[in-house]
Structure 1
C-alpha cells in the first residue's frame, strides 16, 4: 500500500511539474498587490455644484472621470480598485465637492488641496485611452 501511494505521488508530481499539454503562453500575469490604486488628482480646487435633495449622485473617487466631480465609469478601466462614492443630499444645496480626491470628508472639500503634496503635484492631461 505504501509503495502504491509513493508511485501515485510520483506520477502526480511529474505530471504537475511538466504539464506538456499547456503551452507556455497560457500563463497569465498576476497582480500581487491588494492595495487599491492611488486616485488621480483631477483638480487642485473643489467643484462648486448645485445638488438636488433626494437625488442620488456618484462622486468620482479615482479622478479619471471626464464628468468631474461625478463618475462616468472611467474607473472600470483606469482604476479598477476604486469605486465611486454614492450619496443622496437631504435637501437642495450648493456644495463644494473635492477635486483632488484626497479629502477626509468625501465627497465634500475639506481643504486638503492646500497641502504641499497636492500643491506640488503635476496635473496630467487626461487621454481618451
Structure 2
C-alpha cells in the first residue's frame, strides 16, 4: 500500500447538498481535489463515501491524514 500524497495542508471548504453523496480522494493524487477522479488505482487506497446530512459548508481533509476522514480533524497543523 502506498502512503497518501498531501494535497494541501488545509481543509477544502465545499458547499454540499443534503442527501447527495461525495467520494473523497484518500490518496491525494486526484486532479479534482478533494474528490476522487480514479487516480488511486495501484495505490491500495480507495475513496471514502460521504453523504451530506444537510445543505451547507463541509470541511474535507486536504492533508489525507485525518483520523475522521473524510472530514478535517486538524491533523494538517501537525505536519
When normalised by structure 2's length, the TM-score is 0.94
Which 4+ runs in 1 deviate beyond 6 A? none
Equivalent residue number for residue 21 of structure 2: 56
2:68 paired with 1:105: yes
Deviations, residues 19-63 of structure 1 (Å, cap 9, x unaligned): xxxxxxxxxxxxxxxxx2110111011111001110111000000
The alignment of Structure 1 onto Structure 2 pairs a total of residues equal to 79
Which sections of structure 1, spanning at least 5 residues, go unmatched?
1-35, 119-129
Report 1:44-83 matches (<5 A): 44-77=9-42, 79=43, 81-83=44-46
2:54 paired with 1:91: yes
Q: Which protein is richer in helix relative to its size?
A: 1
| CA RMSD across the alignment | 0.9
Q: Relative contact order (C-alpha < 8 Å, sep 6+): which is higher?
A: 2
When normalised by structure 1's length, the TM-score is 0.59
Report 1:24-39 matches (<5 A): 36-39=1-4
Which sections of structure 2, spanning at least 5 residues, go unmatched?
none
Q: Return the index of the structure with the highest Cα Rg.
A: 1
